[in-house]
Structure 1
């Protein structure tokens, strides 16, 4: 069935993994001590010792909502000052624009906070893409490796699961989406060294994905 809507992951799907680990994480880490010293309200969800806890979560790349919220707050300054410009794979912006023009409903689901997602898509080298998406979801809707999260998103956007295509580079996330009845496709980006799944459709980029699923393509 041709999908009526697309739900996309970010890291490794629309955005190079290297950008997240080479730019975003170091930027937040370098400013974390000052953020903790500020006593920001977002720290209320972080147990003591707060700095050590946050840095430990970062070292283990934990998908903890409080950490993702704080990282997003720190990144906001970097985007605002121009120190950070989001990187997307070259095929992504034109594909998203084509799909939106064709009437496909576009959504984002990432472990990064919703504000961080909007900052990323709002400050790309291809311009502000936030208006292409109808809704954004983070781990407040549930973990990305649990089928219930995808079922909740499908209900929330009023799209039958079988008409919603989920894009990710992570097989475990695709498994969870499939269990909820969604269509799935794994992005196997050569520069990221992603191992191709044997259980899901795969594509090297958004153009190949579009051809496989009957979507507008370049």
Structure 2
């Protein structure tokens, strides 16, 4: 593997527990969605306009149940979670090796970026209100589904173009083989992380150099 000039990280299963998103964040959004929409009609109006059907709230709840990666859902979830974080009801989970790796890369002068299916706002909340405090000073930028699907190589091309870097200078880390394959197809370096230790290229961010 050649020397990297930047790190690009997935969130679920990479920096943070999949269970945190599935068992805490999604249920929290589902529980509070209807009340949030009713109490913030002006804010959510342009979001609901992007949701098909006669009952957008029902559609959004169905999307949560089906784990759909729809941008209006992700945007609304981010707003609901922001309120939960602000009220101290939510704390973003990160694995113990995540802050250690972020500090190591930061000290080495390596910019670290996030690419997740969750909205940029939701990403900032997880790292800004993490269980170990605010980690956002260690991050240089964020990308979400507005850039494109994570299993589409064109999305990674758009990211390296936005960073004004050669694809081979960026190292992407994810727990999903399809995402790793897409990144490699776009010319990025990529590592498959398997925290269960059964396979993958690495088992924790502690193994990702330098």
Give the TM-score range, shorter chain: over 0.9
Selected match of 2:184 from 178, 183, 193: 178
Q: How far off its partner does 1:36 sit?
A: 3.2
1:188 to 194, 198, 204: 194
Q: Is residue 108 of structure 1 aligned with residue 111 of structure 2?
A: no
**Equivalent position of 1:66 in the other structure:** 72
Q: Could you tell which deviates more after superposition, 179-188 or 44-53? A: 44-53
> Counterparts in 2 of 1:151-162, with a 5 A limit?
151-162=157-168
Which stretches of structure 1, 4 residues or more, deviate above 6 A after TM superposition?
none
Q: Deviations over 1:143-174 (max 9, x none)?
A: 10100000000010111100100010011111
Secondary structure of 1:203 counterpart: coil
Deviations 1:81-103 (A, max 9, x none): 11101110001101101101110
- Report what 2:49 is aligned to: 44
User: After the TM superposition, which residues 69-80 of structure 1 pair with which residues of structure 2 at under 5 Å, given as runs?
Assistant: 69-80=75-86
CA deviations on 1:157-211 (whole Å, 9 max, x unpaired) are 1111001000100111111101000000111012xxx8635xxxx111011222x
Shift of 1:56: 1.2
Matched, 1:207 2:206: yes
Q: Does 1:88 align with 2:91?
A: no
RMSD: 1.3
User: If the length of structure 1 is used for normalisation, what is the TM-score?
Assistant: 0.90
Give 1:112 deviation, angstroms: 0.3
For this pair of structures, how many residues does the alignment match? 204
Which whole-Å deviations, capped at 9, do the CAs of 1:114-169 have from their partners, x for residues lacking one? 01100110001221111211110000011101000000000101111001000100
Instruction: Give CA deviations for 1:46-95 in whole Å, capped at 9, x if unaligned.
Output: 12211211111111111111110010000001100111011100011011
Give, in whole Å, the separation in 2 of the partners of 1:209 and 1:97: 13
Q: Structure 1 unaligned runs (5+)? A: none
Structure 2 residue corresponding to 1:143, chosen from 123, 136, 149: 149
Separation in 1 of the partners of 2:164 and 2:134? 26
TM-score by length of 2: 0.93
Aligned-partner SS, 2:208: helix
